[in-house]
Amino acid sequence: MEMPRPAPDEKWIRGLPKAEVHLHLEGCVPYGLLEPAAAGSPPVPVEDGIPLLAGLSALLSYLDWSCGQMSRGEQLERIAYAVAERARANGAGHVDVIVNPTHWPHWRGRLPAMVDALDAGFRAGESDHDVTSKLCVSLKRTQSKAEALELVEVLLDLGHPRVAALSIDGNEEDGRASHNERFAPAFERAAAGGLRRCAHAGESSGARGVREAVEMLGAERIDHGIRSIEDPSVIALLVSEEIPLDVCPTSNVLLGVVPTLAEHPIRRLREHKVRCSLNTDDPLLYGIDLAGEFRRSAEAFGWGTDELGEMARVGIESCFAEEDRRRSLSAELSAYLSP
Ligand code: ADE
Ligand code: ZN
């Protein structure tokens, strides 16, 4: 008879070398930095600094409200620094941070200044906490083809080493249409200009959205992607193309994409040999951290050190850090798992 294994302890989980690859800057704005009195009350109720989000649309409106108050470079610098600080406290040596300029109206037309402010925070975070960071600058699903191409041109002109990738997030209109054909030219131009590519799919879209993100956008990683489980041919595509999923189990439960953690498809996806990493998505909106995500998953799915180690491995191998950084994090992980 197979004996249930004890969950790895908190110290082991926290110390496990990791990289976080699905983390929105917008979900890292502390409530304490906001001024509901001056800016008008938030679009959703907030309890103890945590917004009560009924789903993805509520979350996106909340982000417009919160990020809409961030007008000063020092605020962005502080948010970026805190990302690195929290990453270290959770054992992560690298973070790929998604930033969607449409949520930040004070920075409209000033993306280079926005990147500079974030870069200052990330640089300080790297020197104080030995955490490297890259930005995945994100389109919103509702943007036009011309807006998408314009963003890519700005990024390529800027050529900032902090910017690693083009991303796309927002609401995929409940699976009715993800409009990938509209964004294909921007992603093609990004690839030709040397940017990496990731895409939200298989969260508010079904498995078809995942297939299109791979085939039409050339996504190298899929953010969420969990609804791939609905179509065996999409699972086969992810496996054959070795496309990893950046999974965020707590986010999926809180936004109603899956009913409970126990019913989350990550276990079945892994059984089908789909590579999955564990991530927080919007940690300050959900009141979670990365180590907690590993712990909760271990408890819910009966995972031990092997499974958590594999998930950390996928995060590190699929992150957009410089090659030598990726290699050294990978070596750190190997040493931790086989001391
Ligand atoms: N922006 C922030 N969090 C998001 C999510 N879970 N899905 C799509 N866009 C987002
Ligand atoms: Zn996300």
CA geometry: angle 307, 310, 316, nearest 5 deg: 145
Ligand showing the shortest atom-to-Cα distance for residue 103: 1
Give 119-173 pLDDT, tens digit per residue: 999 999 999 999 999 999 999 999 999 999 999 999 999 999 999 999 999 998 7
Question: pLDDT category, 232, cuts 50, 70, 90?
Answer: very high
Q: Which of 200, 210, 223, 254 to mutate to test the pocket of ligand 1 (most atoms within 8 A of CB)?
A: 200
- For residue 175, the model assigns a pLDDT of 52
Model confidence at 6: pLDDT above 80:
no
Domain residue extents for the chain: 15-333
CA of 296 to the centre of ligand 1 (A): 21
Residues 6+ apart with CB under 8 A from 336: 15, 16, 17, 309
Task: Report the distance separating Cα 315 and Cα 289, nearest Å.
Answer: 15
Structure-token pair, residue 294: 């590993």
Task: Report the distance separating Cα 257 and Cα 227, nearest Å.
Answer: 9
Measured from the Cα of 170, ligand 1's closest atom is 9
Measured from the Cα of 282, ligand 1's closest atom is 3
DSSP symbols for 163-205 = EEEEEEES--GGGT---HHHHHHHHHHHHHTT-EEEEEESSSS
Closest to 254 in 3D by CA, of 229, 282, 279 = 282
CA of 203 to the centre of ligand 2 (A): 9
Mean pLDDT of the chain: 96
Q: Which of 59, 65, 174 to mutate to test the pocket of ligand 1 (most atoms within 8 A of CB)?
A: 59
Cα separation of the two ends of the chain: 29
Give 33-80 pLDDT, tens digit per residue: 999 888 899 999 999 999 999 999 999 999 999 999 999 999 999 999
CA of 179 to the centre of ligand 2 (A): 18
Query: Which fold, 15-333?
Result: TIM Barrel (3.20.20)
- Per-chain residues with Cβ under 5 A from ion ligand 2: 281
Low-confidence winner among 6-20, 274-288, 317-331 (lowest mean pLDDT): 6-20
Alpha helix stretches (DSSP H) within 137-289: 145-158, 180-192, 207-215, 232-241, 249-254, 266-271, 283-286
List all residues whose CB is within 6 A of at least one atom of ligand 1.
Answer: 24, 26-27, 56, 59, 169-170, 200, 203, 251, 281-282
Share of the chain above pLDDT 90, in %: 94
- For residue 306, the model assigns a pLDDT of 96
- Count Cα neighbours of 141 within 13 Å in the Cβ-side half-sphere: 23
Residues 6+ apart with CB under 8 A from 190: 152, 155, 156, 165, 166, 197
CA of 47 to the centre of ligand 1 (A): 20
CB count in 10 Å sphere of residue 271 = 9
The pTM assigned to this predicted structure is 0.97
Question: pLDDT category, 339, cuts 50, 70, 90?
Answer: confident
Q: Which of 178, 203, 226 to mutate to test the pocket of ligand 1 (most atoms within 8 A of CB)?
A: 203
Average pLDDT of the segment spanning 246-250: 98
Question: pLDDT category, 217, cuts 50, 70, 90?
Answer: very high
CA geometry: angle 34, 30, 125, nearest 5 deg: 125
